[in-house]
Chain A
Amino acid sequence: MIASPSLPPLTDAVTSSGFPIGPIPSVEGRAVVLAGDDIDTDRIIPARFLKCVTFEGLGEQVFADDRSELGGSHPFDRPEHSGARLLLVNRNFGCGSSREHAPQALMRWGLRAVIGESFAEIFHGNGLALGLPCLTSGHEQMLAIQAHASSHPTASFVLDVQAAELRCGDQVWALELAPGPRQMLTTGQWDATGQLLANDDALVATVARLPYLNGF
């Protein structure tokens, strides 16, 4: 398995935005574990950092309060995780606010895919819109994946988006990804704007049939 040609090498994972363009067949790199359910978007990027008119700079502010509370021992501050590409989480990751600043902050820190037990609806959609694959695993297997990553912090993982499979050495874990997002990511059609613009005639027809746009 080769890394996605659409992902340029990151020379500085903390500050580079280097967002994906085009098909995302796979993501390769080291993995960072963030254990716990219900990690909300206020924790991923506290609201005070939303006072901005661009997304630049969010990479340094990701998990700002959690990291400050742990004084350097947060997984995102550990030197072995610098440059990691995969994030391993548990249930309901990204719940709460709709802020796209959350996946933006994770990606600007350097992450290119998230694997967890479940994701909040809006976070999942925001991730998809940015080309951040979010795949799911059952509970026991997720704990096994996290345990493997924790005991092999420098190991390289390969997330095969097409096959919905995570590999590390001779270990293989089957993951889940709905057919829609899978197709969008692997064909490079995850950025919806172009697809939506292509259907303007159908949009005009929809406007013409909606009672509330036509005096009822």
Chain B
Amino acid sequence: MSAGTLYDKVWDLHRVAELPGGSTQLFIGLHLIHEVTSPQAFAALRDLGLGVRHPERTVATVDHIVPTTSQARPFADPLAEEMLVNLERNCAAHAIPLHGLGSGRQGIVHVIAPELGLTQPGMTVACGDSHTSTHGAFGAIAFGIGTSQVRDVLATQSLALNKLRVRRIWVDGALPPGVYAKDLILHVIRVLGVKGGVGHAYEFAGPAVAALSMEERMTLCNMAIEGGARCGYVNPDATTFAYLEGRPMAPSGTAWERAVAWWSSLASDADASYDDEVRFDASLLSPTVTWGITPAQGIGVDEAVPTPEQLDPQERPIAEEAYRYMNLSPGAAIAGLPVDVCFIGSCTNGRLSDLRAAALVARGRHVAAGIRAFVVPGSEQVARAAEAEGLDRLFREAGFEWREPGCSMCLAMNPDRLEGRQISASSSNRNFKGRQGSASGRTLLMSPAMVAAAAVRGHVTDVRELLAETGRSASAASRQPSLTA
């Protein structure tokens, strides 16, 4: 059993009671809600005659269903409009702040909470969305939850949970140029599998993680859930504090110094014990691309689709299913595979540094003939900051569409979707069958820079070739100062 880790400390601080059912009642410091998983929770509150226990610890935005072309109301889709009206009414009735369209603060819930300074070290965070693990980048413990649990948090600001085991993912070395946090997490999931993290929280640590920017850490923690780990986190450090300082909801004045001291005390102790540890070396990584139908089916861009013999026998049935669904042969090279659609965005890779990394590749080039490529900023703040740098113009000149913020084609609950058997190069997080809105559509997950490379070449391309052509340094671009509020 773990002891002395940040996870243990935050768990103990937020423990309200042990419940008769055997689980722990854990206080939730920040509850994020959106239009898709909250309507039934509010309806249940009404049925039970309950109110919202801590509306001031609850924050709402709209992201999953919003169109990214025109966001004028009412939406063309009456069901989407109904969901938005429902959320607006529920927030008004319970005095919950809502960062709606055009507020200047709307965006994907996992993008806006960090950029507003809502997400802070040592907090417990919950949201009716599995990618809530993103907030662990700050040294918060963040849980994706279902709608009954959304109801519980609304009613009681707490959850009935069982404590997870803690696995330390130690990463030595440094990411080479053209290799990003996305490649690191895809590689971790490739090695540990989509079920390797079930029952665990992942603590990401080591020199390669310490060197990551906050936005890169968010990408890393965002996909912990794709490896089966409900929570992923990074211990708070000077990078964390520098990101938070001055943000609207971050502490200020004399409270700032006290906050930094407290946050620092929460990091895992040097002699903390973990349930287990797995080690990686970042310097050995290549840009990684998924070839199949689970996020663990990833390979280096210079590798070939694995043959059944190369796989663990237990992984062969799902690989066989993936060969059929993706129409890929074992042993085929992934580089050179033609794509139809290129999507840059999502809670995984829709932040300013992601757009900069993609822009560096797109600059002075043009989207290949027949390819539909689009860029969806993760939030209104990301969009305005990118526009201030001229990234919108750069992308448009390169043949990309520049869209309004939202979840877009990550999950296709809005008009952005694949058609028929189309293949996408996507900076999102899931390559499940049908995920991007077509029951036979196919998804290749990769970093935003790799998506941009696929867009300009029209097929899967090692972004390092394009960066070398122009002598552009990708790692320098991704480590520019991040968005300021």
Contacts and interface: CB of A to CB of B under 8 A. Distances in A.
A167 interface: no
A192 interface: yes
Interface in A43-69: 43, 46-48, 50-55, 65-66, 68-69
Contacts of B198: 92, 118-121
A121 B230 CA distance: 7
12 contacts: A38-B195, A47-B435, A48-B437, A69-B439, A122-B130, A191-B148, A193-B50, A193-B152, A196-B156, A199-B25, A211-B122, A212-B251
A59 B102 CA distance: 36
Given A53-B83, A192-B21, A97 B130 contact: yes
A103 to B, nearest CB: 8
A183 interface: yes
Nearest to B199: A121
B306 interface: no
Given A121-B164, A183-B22, 12 more contacts: A37-B317, A42-B434, A65-B433, A92-B194, A95-B228, A96-B130, A97-B411, A120-B195, A125-B161, A129-B152, A192-B148, A211-B122
Interface stretch (A72-80, A152-160, A201-209): A201-209
Interface in A1-57: 36-38, 40, 42-43, 46-48, 50-55
Given A36-B321, A180-B23, A53 B43 contact: yes
Nearest to A185: B21
Interface in A106-157: 118-122, 125-126, 129-130
B149 interface: yes
Contact of B16 (A36, A43, A50, A203): A203
A215 interface: yes
B145 A125 contact: yes
B29 interface: yes
Given A40-B432, A96-B130, A129-B146, A54 B39 contact: yes
A203 B21 contact: no
Contacts of A130: 148
Contacts of B212: none
B432 A122 contact: no
B16 A199 contact: yes
A195 B24 CA distance: 11
Interface residues of B, number: 81
Contacts of A126: 146-149
**Most chain A beta-carbon contacts within 10 A, residue among B123, B259, B439:** B439
B128 interface: yes
Contacts of B129: 97-98
Give the dominant DSSP class at A's interface. Answer: helix
Contact of A54 (B40, B120, B430): B40
A165 interface: no
Interface of A: 36-38, 40, 42-43, 46-48, 50-55, 65-66, 68-69, 91-92, 95-101, 103, 118-122, 125-126, 129-130, 178-181, 183-184, 187, 189-193, 195-197, 199-200, 202-203, 206-207, 209-213, 215-216
Given A38-B195, A130-B148, A206-B27, A212 B259 contact: yes
Given A38-B194, A98-B128, A197-B155, A189 B199 contact: no
A80 to B, nearest CB: 24
**Most chain B beta-carbon contacts within 10 A, residue among A43, A48, A178, A193:** A193
B294 interface: yes
Contact of A53 (B82, B230, B430, B440): B82
B209 interface: no
Contacts of A179: 22
A47 B13 CA distance: 36
Q: 6 closest Cβ contacts across the A-B interface?
A: A180-B22, A100-B146, A126-B146, A184-B21, A129-B148, A192-B160
A194 B378 CA distance: 37
B40 A98 contact: no
Interface string B148-178: 1101100111111110100000000000000
A38 B292 CA distance: 12
Contacts of B159: 192, 196
A51 B37 contact: no
Contacts of B262: 211-212, 216
B430 A42 contact: yes
B195 A118 contact: yes
B388 interface: no
Contacts of A189: 19-21
A43 B413 contact: no
Nearest to B130: A98
Contacts of B162: 178, 180
B48 interface: yes
Given A53-B39, A120-B228, A193 B151 contact: yes
B284 interface: no
Contacts of B64: 50
Nearest to B262: A211
A95 B255 contact: no
Contacts of A215: 251, 255, 258
Given A51-B83, A122-B230, A192-B160, A98 B146 contact: yes
A91 B146 contact: no
Contacts of B437: 47-48
A192 B152 contact: yes
A42 B22 CA distance: 31
Given A184-B21, A187-B21, A193 B40 contact: no
B80 interface: yes
Contacts of B92: none
A42 B144 contact: no
**Most chain B beta-carbon contacts within 10 A, residue among A122, A192, A202, A216:** A192
A37 B314 contact: yes
Contacts of B194: 38, 92, 95
Contacts of B39: 52-54
Nearest to A50: B36
B65 interface: yes
B413 A122 contact: no
A125 B433 contact: no
Contact of B147 (A40, A100, A207, A216): A100
